[in-house]
Amino acid sequence: MNIDIVPLEIPEGIDDGSAAAERFREYIDVRNSVFRTTWNGSRDFDVTYAAAHGYIRRNKEERQHIHVALLEGRIAGFARVDVSLHELDAPAYADIYTDEPHRRNGVGTALLQRVNELLREEGRATTQTWKLHRPASGPQISPPNGAGEIPANSDEVRFLHRAGFSLEQIERTSVLTFGSDDRSAFERMRREASARASGYTVRVWTGFTPADQLANLAALQARMSTDAPAAGLDVVAETWDAERLAEIESSVIEGQRRDLLRAVAYSADGVAVAYSTLAVPEAGQQVYQDDTLVHAEHRGHRLGMLVKTVNLLQLLDTYPERSRVITWNAEENRHMLAVNEALGFEAVMGEGAWQRREEWAPR
Protein backbone atom coordinates (compact mmCIF):
# COMPACT_ATOMS: atom_id res chain seq x y z
CA MET A 1 0.00 0.00 0.00
CA ASN A 2 1.50 3.31 -1.12
CA ILE A 3 1.50 5.99 1.59
CA ASP A 4 2.60 9.49 0.68
CA ILE A 5 3.74 11.80 3.48
CA VAL A 6 3.49 15.43 2.43
CA PRO A 7 3.62 18.78 4.27
CA LEU A 8 0.30 20.48 4.82
CA GLU A 9 0.14 23.75 2.91
CA ILE A 10 -1.55 26.50 4.93
CA PRO A 11 -3.85 28.48 2.62
CA GLU A 12 -4.36 32.22 2.71
CA GLY A 13 -8.02 31.61 3.53
CA ILE A 14 -10.13 28.57 4.27
CA ASP A 15 -12.62 29.39 1.49
CA ASP A 16 -10.36 30.89 -1.16
CA GLY A 17 -11.16 28.21 -3.74
CA SER A 18 -7.62 26.83 -3.75
CA ALA A 19 -6.56 23.19 -3.58
CA ALA A 20 -4.68 24.08 -0.39
CA ALA A 21 -7.89 25.33 1.26
CA GLU A 22 -9.73 22.16 0.27
CA ARG A 23 -6.92 20.01 1.66
CA PHE A 24 -6.80 22.07 4.87
CA ARG A 25 -10.52 21.55 5.47
CA GLU A 26 -10.06 17.83 4.89
CA TYR A 27 -7.22 17.83 7.44
CA ILE A 28 -9.46 19.42 10.08
CA ASP A 29 -12.24 16.93 9.30
CA VAL A 30 -9.82 14.04 9.87
CA ARG A 31 -8.42 15.70 12.97
CA ASN A 32 -11.93 16.02 14.43
CA SER A 33 -12.73 12.42 13.50
CA VAL A 34 -9.67 11.20 15.39
CA PHE A 35 -10.61 13.11 18.54
CA ARG A 36 -14.24 11.98 18.39
CA THR A 37 -13.04 8.38 18.26
CA THR A 38 -10.88 8.93 21.33
CA TRP A 39 -13.76 10.61 23.16
CA ASN A 40 -16.35 7.95 22.30
CA GLY A 41 -18.15 10.14 19.79
CA SER A 42 -18.09 13.38 21.82
CA ARG A 43 -17.51 16.59 19.84
CA ASP A 44 -16.03 18.41 22.83
CA PHE A 45 -12.66 18.67 21.11
CA ASP A 46 -13.81 19.59 17.62
CA VAL A 47 -12.24 22.70 16.13
CA THR A 48 -13.71 24.80 13.35
CA TYR A 49 -11.87 25.50 10.11
CA ALA A 50 -11.61 29.18 11.00
CA ALA A 51 -10.29 28.61 14.54
CA ALA A 52 -7.68 26.09 13.42
CA HIS A 53 -6.56 28.26 10.53
CA GLY A 54 -6.39 31.37 12.69
CA TYR A 55 -4.31 29.66 15.36
CA ILE A 56 -1.77 28.27 12.89
CA ARG A 57 -1.42 31.55 11.02
CA ARG A 58 -1.05 33.67 14.16
CA ASN A 59 1.01 31.36 16.36
CA LYS A 60 4.39 32.90 17.16
CA GLU A 61 5.22 30.56 20.03
CA GLU A 62 6.44 27.59 18.01
CA ARG A 63 7.82 26.65 14.65
CA GLN A 64 5.21 24.18 13.45
CA HIS A 65 5.60 21.29 11.03
CA ILE A 66 2.36 19.59 9.97
CA HIS A 67 2.44 16.61 7.62
CA VAL A 68 -0.39 14.43 6.35
CA ALA A 69 -0.41 10.81 5.22
CA LEU A 70 -2.20 10.26 1.91
CA LEU A 71 -3.78 6.98 0.88
CA GLU A 72 -5.13 7.08 -2.65
CA GLY A 73 -5.07 10.85 -2.45
CA ARG A 74 -7.06 11.14 0.79
CA ILE A 75 -5.79 12.00 4.29
CA ALA A 76 -5.50 8.91 6.49
CA GLY A 77 -3.46 10.44 9.30
CA PHE A 78 -1.32 13.39 10.27
CA ALA A 79 1.66 14.38 12.39
CA ARG A 80 2.90 17.53 14.07
CA VAL A 81 6.30 18.62 15.28
CA ASP A 82 6.52 21.88 17.24
CA VAL A 83 9.61 23.57 18.67
CA SER A 84 9.63 26.65 20.85
CA LEU A 85 10.82 29.88 19.28
CA HIS A 86 11.44 31.37 22.73
CA GLU A 87 13.20 28.63 24.72
CA LEU A 88 15.68 27.24 22.21
CA ASP A 89 16.74 24.36 24.47
CA ALA A 90 13.19 23.29 25.34
CA PRO A 91 12.03 19.80 24.34
CA ALA A 92 10.37 19.38 20.97
CA TYR A 93 6.72 18.35 20.87
CA ALA A 94 5.61 15.62 18.46
CA ASP A 95 2.26 14.00 17.80
CA ILE A 96 1.06 11.31 15.39
CA TYR A 97 -2.54 10.32 14.70
CA THR A 98 -4.13 7.79 12.36
CA ASP A 99 -7.82 7.95 11.50
CA GLU A 100 -9.63 4.87 12.80
CA PRO A 101 -10.51 3.28 9.41
CA HIS A 102 -6.83 3.31 8.39
CA ARG A 103 -5.20 1.88 11.50
CA ARG A 104 -2.78 -1.05 11.16
CA ASN A 105 -2.01 -0.13 7.56
CA GLY A 106 1.42 1.36 8.21
CA VAL A 107 0.22 4.97 8.34
CA GLY A 108 1.60 5.65 11.82
CA THR A 109 4.94 4.05 10.96
CA ALA A 110 5.29 6.15 7.82
CA LEU A 111 4.45 9.32 9.73
CA LEU A 112 6.92 8.40 12.47
CA GLN A 113 9.73 8.13 9.94
CA ARG A 114 9.06 11.67 8.73
CA VAL A 115 8.68 12.95 12.31
CA ASN A 116 12.07 11.49 13.21
CA GLU A 117 13.62 13.26 10.21
CA LEU A 118 12.11 16.57 11.29
CA LEU A 119 13.25 16.09 14.87
CA ARG A 120 16.79 15.41 13.74
CA GLU A 121 16.71 18.56 11.61
CA GLU A 122 15.50 20.60 14.59
CA GLY A 123 18.13 19.05 16.86
CA ARG A 124 16.34 19.31 20.22
CA ALA A 125 17.77 16.99 22.87
CA THR A 126 14.41 15.70 24.06
CA THR A 127 11.05 15.02 22.45
CA GLN A 128 7.77 14.86 24.36
CA THR A 129 4.24 13.88 23.46
CA TRP A 130 0.93 13.68 25.32
CA LYS A 131 -1.55 10.94 24.46
CA LEU A 132 -5.05 10.27 25.78
CA HIS A 133 -5.59 6.68 26.85
CA ARG A 134 -9.12 5.35 27.17
CA PRO A 135 -9.78 3.19 30.25
CA ALA A 136 -9.66 -0.56 29.64
CA SER A 137 -9.48 -3.72 31.71
CA GLY A 138 -6.37 -5.84 31.86
CA PRO A 139 -2.75 -5.01 32.70
CA GLN A 140 -1.94 -1.41 33.54
CA ILE A 141 1.30 0.58 33.55
CA SER A 142 2.39 3.52 35.68
CA PRO A 143 5.16 6.11 35.33
CA PRO A 144 8.24 5.78 37.58
CA ASN A 145 6.66 7.96 40.29
CA GLY A 146 3.78 5.48 40.58
CA ALA A 147 1.07 8.16 40.25
CA GLY A 148 -1.79 6.94 38.06
CA GLU A 149 -2.07 4.16 35.52
CA ILE A 150 -3.11 3.53 31.92
CA PRO A 151 -3.85 0.33 29.96
CA ALA A 152 -0.60 -1.42 29.08
CA ASN A 153 -1.70 -3.14 25.88
CA SER A 154 -3.36 -0.39 23.87
CA ASP A 155 -2.25 0.35 20.32
CA GLU A 156 -1.01 3.77 21.44
CA VAL A 157 1.15 2.38 24.23
CA ARG A 158 2.70 -0.28 22.00
CA PHE A 159 3.38 2.28 19.27
CA LEU A 160 5.05 4.72 21.64
CA HIS A 161 7.23 2.01 23.18
CA ARG A 162 8.34 0.86 19.72
CA ALA A 163 9.17 4.48 18.88
CA GLY A 164 11.46 4.68 21.90
CA PHE A 165 9.30 6.79 24.22
CA SER A 166 9.02 6.24 27.97
CA LEU A 167 5.98 7.03 30.10
CA GLU A 168 7.05 9.76 32.55
CA GLN A 169 3.79 11.17 33.94
CA ILE A 170 0.04 10.67 33.87
CA GLU A 171 -2.42 13.53 33.90
CA ARG A 172 -5.98 12.92 35.02
CA THR A 173 -8.62 14.24 32.65
CA SER A 174 -11.71 15.28 34.61
CA VAL A 175 -15.07 16.80 33.74
CA LEU A 176 -17.32 19.03 35.83
CA THR A 177 -20.93 18.93 34.67
CA PHE A 178 -22.94 21.81 36.06
CA GLY A 179 -26.00 21.14 38.19
CA SER A 180 -28.70 23.39 39.61
CA ASP A 181 -27.02 23.63 43.02
CA ASP A 182 -23.53 24.45 41.79
CA ARG A 183 -23.75 28.23 42.13
CA SER A 184 -24.59 28.05 45.83
CA ALA A 185 -21.87 25.41 46.34
CA PHE A 186 -19.26 27.55 44.57
CA GLU A 187 -20.32 30.59 46.60
CA ARG A 188 -19.93 28.65 49.83
CA MET A 189 -16.49 27.33 48.87
CA ARG A 190 -15.45 30.82 47.75
CA ARG A 191 -16.42 32.28 51.13
CA GLU A 192 -14.58 29.53 53.01
CA ALA A 193 -11.45 30.01 50.88
CA SER A 194 -11.63 33.80 51.19
CA ALA A 195 -11.69 33.49 54.98
CA ARG A 196 -8.38 31.63 54.80
CA ALA A 197 -6.89 34.12 52.33
CA SER A 198 -6.78 37.14 54.60
CA GLY A 199 -4.77 39.97 53.08
CA TYR A 200 -5.25 38.83 49.48
CA THR A 201 -7.59 40.37 46.93
CA VAL A 202 -9.01 38.86 43.73
CA ARG A 203 -9.65 40.56 40.41
CA VAL A 204 -11.51 39.02 37.44
CA TRP A 205 -11.75 39.88 33.76
CA THR A 206 -12.79 38.38 30.44
CA GLY A 207 -10.86 38.64 27.20
CA PHE A 208 -7.56 40.48 27.07
CA THR A 209 -5.60 41.13 30.25
CA PRO A 210 -5.67 44.84 31.14
CA ALA A 211 -2.52 46.54 29.90
CA ASP A 212 -1.50 47.58 33.41
CA GLN A 213 -1.51 43.92 34.52
CA LEU A 214 0.30 42.24 31.62
CA ALA A 215 3.80 42.39 33.14
CA ASN A 216 2.51 41.40 36.59
CA LEU A 217 0.66 38.34 35.28
CA ALA A 218 3.47 37.41 32.88
CA ALA A 219 5.93 37.18 35.79
CA LEU A 220 3.61 34.68 37.48
CA GLN A 221 2.95 32.82 34.22
CA ALA A 222 6.69 32.18 33.90
CA ARG A 223 6.58 30.07 37.05
CA MET A 224 4.16 27.61 35.42
CA SER A 225 7.08 25.98 33.63
CA THR A 226 8.99 25.29 36.86
CA ASP A 227 6.36 25.16 39.64
CA ALA A 228 3.91 22.71 38.03
CA PRO A 229 4.57 19.02 38.82
CA ALA A 230 6.64 17.50 36.00
CA ALA A 231 7.53 14.01 37.30
CA GLY A 232 10.34 12.70 35.07
CA LEU A 233 9.83 15.15 32.22
CA ASP A 234 12.66 17.45 31.19
CA VAL A 235 11.62 21.08 31.75
CA VAL A 236 13.19 24.38 30.84
CA ALA A 237 12.41 27.61 32.67
CA GLU A 238 10.40 29.90 30.42
CA THR A 239 10.89 33.65 30.11
CA TRP A 240 7.73 35.70 29.93
CA ASP A 241 7.07 39.40 29.56
CA ALA A 242 4.09 41.60 28.78
CA GLU A 243 4.62 41.36 25.02
CA ARG A 244 4.69 37.56 25.00
CA LEU A 245 1.55 37.28 27.12
CA ALA A 246 -0.29 39.78 24.94
CA GLU A 247 0.71 37.86 21.80
CA ILE A 248 -0.50 34.56 23.27
CA GLU A 249 -3.83 36.10 24.19
CA SER A 250 -4.22 37.55 20.72
CA SER A 251 -3.52 34.13 19.19
CA VAL A 252 -6.12 32.47 21.41
CA ILE A 253 -8.84 35.13 21.37
CA GLU A 254 -8.57 36.36 17.79
CA GLY A 255 -6.92 33.33 16.21
CA GLN A 256 -8.60 30.38 17.92
CA ARG A 257 -11.77 32.43 18.53
CA ARG A 258 -11.83 31.57 22.21
CA ASP A 259 -12.74 33.82 25.09
CA LEU A 260 -10.52 33.84 28.16
CA LEU A 261 -11.84 34.24 31.70
CA ARG A 262 -9.31 34.94 34.43
CA ALA A 263 -9.36 35.22 38.18
CA VAL A 264 -6.14 36.58 39.68
CA ALA A 265 -5.21 36.83 43.36
CA TYR A 266 -2.92 39.61 44.56
CA SER A 267 -0.82 39.98 47.68
CA ALA A 268 -1.13 43.06 49.85
CA ASP A 269 1.59 44.80 47.80
CA GLY A 270 -0.29 44.27 44.53
CA VAL A 271 1.78 41.39 43.14
CA ALA A 272 -0.07 38.63 41.25
CA VAL A 273 0.44 35.41 43.24
CA ALA A 274 -2.27 33.03 41.94
CA TYR A 275 -4.47 32.76 38.88
CA SER A 276 -6.91 30.49 37.11
CA THR A 277 -7.88 30.67 33.44
CA LEU A 278 -10.88 29.25 31.58
CA ALA A 279 -10.93 29.08 27.77
CA VAL A 280 -14.34 29.21 26.09
CA PRO A 281 -14.42 28.01 22.46
CA GLU A 282 -16.76 29.64 19.99
CA ALA A 283 -19.06 26.61 19.79
CA GLY A 284 -20.20 23.72 21.96
CA GLN A 285 -21.22 23.23 25.57
CA GLN A 286 -17.71 22.68 26.90
CA VAL A 287 -15.17 25.00 28.50
CA TYR A 288 -11.51 24.14 28.98
CA GLN A 289 -9.73 24.76 32.27
CA ASP A 290 -6.35 26.19 31.34
CA ASP A 291 -3.64 26.92 33.89
CA THR A 292 -4.26 27.26 37.59
CA LEU A 293 -1.17 28.25 39.55
CA VAL A 294 -0.35 29.42 43.07
CA HIS A 295 3.08 30.93 43.63
CA ALA A 296 5.09 28.51 45.76
CA GLU A 297 5.73 31.17 48.42
CA HIS A 298 2.00 31.83 48.84
CA ARG A 299 0.64 28.31 49.16
CA GLY A 300 -1.33 27.20 52.19
CA HIS A 301 -3.89 30.03 52.04
CA ARG A 302 -6.54 28.28 49.89
CA LEU A 303 -5.72 30.57 47.00
CA GLY A 304 -6.15 27.76 44.48
CA MET A 305 -9.71 27.13 45.61
CA LEU A 306 -10.36 30.86 45.78
CA VAL A 307 -9.36 31.72 42.20
CA LYS A 308 -11.05 28.62 40.79
CA THR A 309 -14.40 29.24 42.48
CA VAL A 310 -14.35 32.94 41.62
CA ASN A 311 -13.68 32.09 37.98
CA LEU A 312 -16.37 29.39 37.86
CA LEU A 313 -18.86 31.93 39.19
CA GLN A 314 -17.72 34.35 36.50
CA LEU A 315 -18.30 31.61 33.92
CA LEU A 316 -21.84 30.95 35.15
CA ASP A 317 -22.59 34.67 34.86
CA THR A 318 -20.94 35.22 31.48
CA TYR A 319 -21.77 31.96 29.71
CA PRO A 320 -24.81 30.46 31.47
CA GLU A 321 -25.47 28.18 28.49
CA ARG A 322 -22.22 26.23 28.94
CA SER A 323 -22.74 22.94 30.72
CA ARG A 324 -19.32 21.48 31.55
CA VAL A 325 -15.65 22.20 32.20
CA ILE A 326 -12.80 19.86 31.22
CA THR A 327 -9.51 19.93 33.09
CA TRP A 328 -6.18 18.10 33.34
CA ASN A 329 -4.03 17.61 36.45
CA ALA A 330 -0.90 15.63 37.16
CA GLU A 331 -1.79 12.54 39.18
CA GLU A 332 0.90 13.42 41.72
CA ASN A 333 -0.63 16.87 42.24
CA ARG A 334 -2.77 15.67 45.11
CA HIS A 335 -3.58 19.14 46.38
CA MET A 336 -5.09 20.41 43.12
CA LEU A 337 -6.88 17.10 42.55
CA ALA A 338 -8.50 17.51 45.98
CA VAL A 339 -9.63 21.02 45.04
CA ASN A 340 -11.19 19.75 41.81
CA GLU A 341 -12.84 16.80 43.50
CA ALA A 342 -14.40 19.16 46.04
CA LEU A 343 -15.72 21.27 43.15
CA GLY A 344 -17.35 18.20 41.61
CA PHE A 345 -14.94 17.18 38.85
CA GLU A 346 -15.03 13.48 37.96
CA ALA A 347 -12.16 11.54 36.36
CA VAL A 348 -12.87 10.23 32.86
CA MET A 349 -9.54 9.40 31.25
CA GLY A 350 -5.79 9.38 31.69
CA GLU A 351 -3.35 11.29 29.51
CA GLY A 352 0.15 9.92 29.34
CA ALA A 353 3.13 12.27 29.08
CA TRP A 354 5.80 10.42 27.10
CA GLN A 355 9.41 11.38 26.52
CA ARG A 356 12.34 10.31 24.39
CA ARG A 357 15.90 11.55 24.80
CA GLU A 358 17.32 11.73 21.31
CA GLU A 359 20.34 9.72 20.27
CA TRP A 360 22.05 12.75 18.68
CA ALA A 361 21.95 14.75 21.92
CA PRO A 362 25.07 14.91 24.14
CA ARG A 363 24.85 12.79 27.30
179-322 maps to which CATH number?
3.40.630.30
Check pLDDT > 90 for residue 142. yes
Q: What is the DSSP letter of 210?
A: P
Q: How confident is the model at residue 286 (pLDDT cuts 50, 70, 90)?
A: very high
Residues 6 or more apart whose CB falls under 8 angstroms from that of 3 comprise 69, 70, 71, 76, 105, 106, 107, 110
3-171+353-357 maps to which CATH number?
3.40.630.30
State the pLDDT at residue 359: 87
Check pLDDT > 70 for residue 287. yes
Distance, in Å, from the CA atom of 278 to the CA atom of 272, rounded to the nearest integer, reads 17
State the pLDDT at residue 362: 62
Angle of CA points 165, 82, 153, to nearest 5°: 25
Q: How confident is the model at residue 360 (pLDDT cuts 50, 70, 90)?
A: confident
User: Per-residue pLDDT averaged across 165-193, rounded?
Assistant: 97
Q: Is 25 left (phi over 0), alpha (psi -120 to 50) or beta?
A: alpha
User: Per-residue pLDDT averaged across 253-260, rounded?
Assistant: 95
User: Per-residue pLDDT averaged across 308-321, rounded?
Assistant: 97
Check pLDDT > 90 for residue 306. yes
Count CA atoms closer than 13 A to 112's CA, side-chain side: 14
Distance, in Å, from the CA atom of 75 to the CA atom of 134, rounded to the nearest integer, reads 24
Distance, in Å, from the CA atom of 260 to the CA atom of 246, rounded to the nearest integer, reads 12
CB 326 within 8 A of CB 172: no
Check pLDDT > 60 for residue 363. no
The whole-model pTM stands at 0.94
So where are the chain's domains?
3-171+353-357, 179-322
Q: Which residue(s) pair with 95 in the sheet?
A: 80
